Amino acid sequence: MPVGTAGTVKAVPQDILEDLGSEKLGAQIILGNTYHLYLRPGHELVRTLGGLHKFMSWDRALLTDSGGFQVFSLSELRKVKEEGVSFRSHLDGSSHLFTPERSMEIQIALGADIVMAFDECTEHPAERERARASMEMTLRWAKRSKDYFEAHKHETPWSQEAARNPGLPNTPALFGIVQGGMYADLRRESAERTVELDFPGYAIGGLSVGESRAKTMEMIAAVLEILPKDKPRYVMGAGYPEEIVQYAAMGVDMMDCVLPTRAARHGLLFTSEGRINIKNARYAQDQGPADPKCACRVCVRYTRAYLRHLFVSAEPLAGVLNTVHNLAFYLDTMRSVRHAITLGDLSGILSGSVSLT
RNA sequence: GUGGGUAUAGUUCAGUGGCAGAACGCCAGACUGUGGCUCUGGAUGUCGAGGGUUCGACCCCCUCUACCCACC
């Protein structure tokens, strides 16, 4: 899932998102962000304008993050209490309070298809007791999120219209989030107790926050033993191309990451030959495509030399083309994974003997 | 022609009689539920040329050269 924090997957127009990758299937779902859209332009304004889908002209699926991660990443500006999180806006310093109820209200107003429970992303490293306390609060917040959500889930900007079509859902889905720091038993307990609350999908949060890759895998494996296989299982914030393939092979269904988009704007391209830094002088006269095995709209049309020139010149098109390629590479990677799953054999992709594109 | 000024990193410029500096550029690296085209690191010098003073000169003195400004 490409990340589109502020109502846009940075640098990429929606019509290109819909037509991305070698088979032109495009992105099926993107993320939006509660914290950012609440601060600007404001969730009530978005509701007034018909909801986030209509506002940004995106009629495929939308998932909104609950604001829990921003509470973590903007830590200098926040204060966590049982009721919720008070924080100061990074835009103008104004004071705000996020509670599970408030997060649900905002996500419903935005009109997301998948709403995330309001959680606390435990910092790393965290002592065991700290991780447990944080996990317990996330569980209490999950219950409050669900209670508010169930009472208000028909209040999205699109619920009324959707109700006229019996073939489609007329409410969003609320996903619970597993926490527990880097302690496998806490993770398992968090998963069990989150499943008891009965959500239609489950996320594993608080990973890729500085721990080793082996530790990340250990936590995911522990949690996947508990989470029901017939519900979507979502690892939040992952990852590098090799990572998401591994997680998918372990049984993870959904992932999101800013890496393909942010790294693209910083000149880093993901290719079948590994990562390349397009600003490197060695590409100044390179007439080949960013990735010789990629059939995306950027690779069929532009040379590395041109992409480097655009980047070095700080042309806005550099960020656009780099992002389009990186997202196409990620989507093609996952397309290969789905294809391999259909064939019943992921070993080729995992061993690297089959091209990820 | 006369008077004044300038000359230091690729560029624009600081600088002090005692280890040669900044910014930008250049070269690389980083980026994991996105505040921030961001962050981190590295390389680079006949201090215009020649002579003098001094223990020691990029710095003070003299000459030359180049460029800039004003005036004729």
CB A298 within 8 A of CB A324: yes
Question: What Å value separates CA A20 and C1' B2?
Answer: 73
Maximum Cα interatomic distance, chain A, rounded to a whole number of Å: 61
Q: In this predicted model, what pLDDT tens digit does every residue of A110-169 receive, in sequence order? A: 999 999 999 999 999 999 999 999 999 999 999 999 999 999 999 999 999 999 998 889
Minimum-distance residue to B28 (CA–C1'): A280
- Measure the CA angle with vertex A58, ends A56 and A59; round to 5°: 140
Active site residue A65: yes
Question: What Å value separates CA A310 and C1' B68?
Answer: 37
Q: What is the pTM of this model?
A: 0.94
Q: In this predicted model, what pLDDT tens digit does every residue of A219-234 receive, in sequence order? A: 999 999 999 999 999 9
Active site residue A15: no
Q: For the CA atoms of A42, A43, A49, A51, what is the dihedral angle to 10 degrees?
A: 150
CA of A74: nearest nucleotide by C1' is B35
Q: In this predicted model, what pLDDT tens digit does every residue of A44-81 receive, in sequence order? A: 999 999 999 999 999 999 999 999 888 778 766 788 99
Question: What Å value separates CA A315 and C1' B25?
Answer: 17
| From A113, A119, A256, A332, the catalytic residue | A256
Cα–Cα distance for residue pair A158/A112, rounded to 1 Å: 10
Question: What Å value separates CA A355 and C1' B15?
Answer: 58
**Interface predicted TM-score (ipTM):** 0.90
Strand B: which positions are within 7 A of a protein CB? 26-39
Query: Please, is A301 exposed, middle or buried when counting C-beta atoms within 10 Å of its C-beta (0-12, 13-18, 19+)?
Result: exposed
| From A65, A113, A291, A332, the catalytic residue | A65
